[in-house]
Chain A
């Protein structure tokens, strides 16, 4: 089963994304901070990670950079989920290595489509 890691400090978003992805047939692991996401990704790399940008301590962008810098996780596709919608913020996200950027408020259905598209591209 395709494994997806979710990191978001907002329990509502975390539970909603997890619920939606589980309904779509993915094996979901959800954590509430960046450091836990990094540990989880390193211990057992998922097929894809959905990371909130604004998390206390370590942001999603920081996690993305760390994953990217480590050969064991450098190929892990990351989708950033964030309320920061300015052009510069999106550039920073892609600059950190993210493959997609979903802006809050978001459509859960669209998020699943984005996940599917990224996974399809990765496996192509």
Chain B
């Protein structure tokens, strides 16, 4: 029995030692490899930075275009990363190096290769090179088995900014291999107003997440011509979350026609989250005509609604502040004993908003004084 235990202990010790050795040697090998690549890439990296900085373009272009394949492989990650970080002439000249070296064609081939890292890198290269001819390939890659490849691909499609990719990007939010909503929203946002029609079309999508994302991005890209359709979503969508997001979008778009539907959306019969979002949107809209309704909401029993109404009034300018001042005056602070009435509630929310405004005003005075010194 003791012999078996001793044997097991010896085996366990041996396995531990082997594992530790593998880890140590693995890390050492990786460090040596990284150091070797960095050493190899150093002169080329200098040429790359100089090229991106617009310094002696022809000489640096020639240096990079003629690099040995091994050296280029070492410096390529930096070059790919730089492509996404610079614009203008710096970007154009970097793209010409990639074209000269055939990197785009190679990346197209590598999207079909085994190895998630290779496919993700290929997608990144194609996105940073803004290869429109790669859009169908990248759309297919949105369904890649690897989640990181899918996210990188969404980002690449955003960089290429081809509006034909918008339906596929939005559809990739749902299904067995979804792309994270943030990655999709960022990509569609980068495509911008050119994707408007596809975004409007997605407002009828059966999946709530697709509709929420589409209506949100319509606001972020400032799609004013879609305001009418967003109003329909505000009043008629089956999902309260989509309706609340439609309210936010209408506030961002700031069209006059949004006022009536947003006032309807703050009525007590509506879901609380929608009412709070609509109140905030009325503040973004800045329509003085909404001040009486928002003033009434200060006494709302729902905290989010009353709080949103107070800050919306604050953003409305003089008319809003006057409404807040009236509410604060009607229920002076420090009543003893404290009474929880509608007037008292409204007064408390109004005082809080006015106090925040006062602090902000003081901060701005300080900032202006410092700016004057500059």
Contact = CB atoms under 8 A, between A and B. Distances in A.
B86 A74 contact: no
A75 B85 contact: no
Contact of A108 (B78, B81, B86, B220): B86
A46 to B, nearest CB: 14
A13 B83 CA distance: 11
A77 interface: yes
B82 interface: yes
Contact of B81 (A12, A19, A23): A12
Contact of B85 (A23, A97, A104, A122): A104
Contacts, number: 63
B86 A16 contact: yes
A22 B358 CA distance: 44
Interface string A104-116: 1111111000000
B78 A12 contact: yes
Interface of A is mostly: helix
Interface string A86-124: 100000000101010000111111100000000000100
A59 to B, nearest CB: 18
Contact of B87 (A20, A68, A75, A106): A106
Given A12-B78, A16-B82, A99-B374, A107 B88 contact: yes
* Interface bracket on A: 20 to 34
Contacts of B359: none
A109 B88 contact: yes
B306 to A, nearest CB: 23
Contact of A105 (B87, B89, B371, B374): B87
B373 interface: yes
Given A13-B85, A97-B367, A108 B374 contact: no
Contacts of A13: 85
Interface of B is mostly: helix
Nearest to A17: B53
A10 B85 contact: yes
A9 to B, nearest CB: 13
Interface in B127-150: none
Interface string A3-30: 0000000101101100110010000000
Nearest to B360: A95
Contacts of B54: 20, 108-109
Nearest to A23: B55
B52 interface: yes
B90 interface: yes
A62 to B, nearest CB: 16
A57 B346 CA distance: 39
11 contacts: A16-B49, A16-B52, A16-B86, A19-B50, A23-B53, A23-B55, A97-B367, A97-B371, A104-B85, A108-B90, A109-B88
For the complex of A and B, 7 pairs with smallest distance between CB atoms: A107-B88, A20-B53, A105-B87, A19-B49, A108-B53, A75-B374, A19-B53
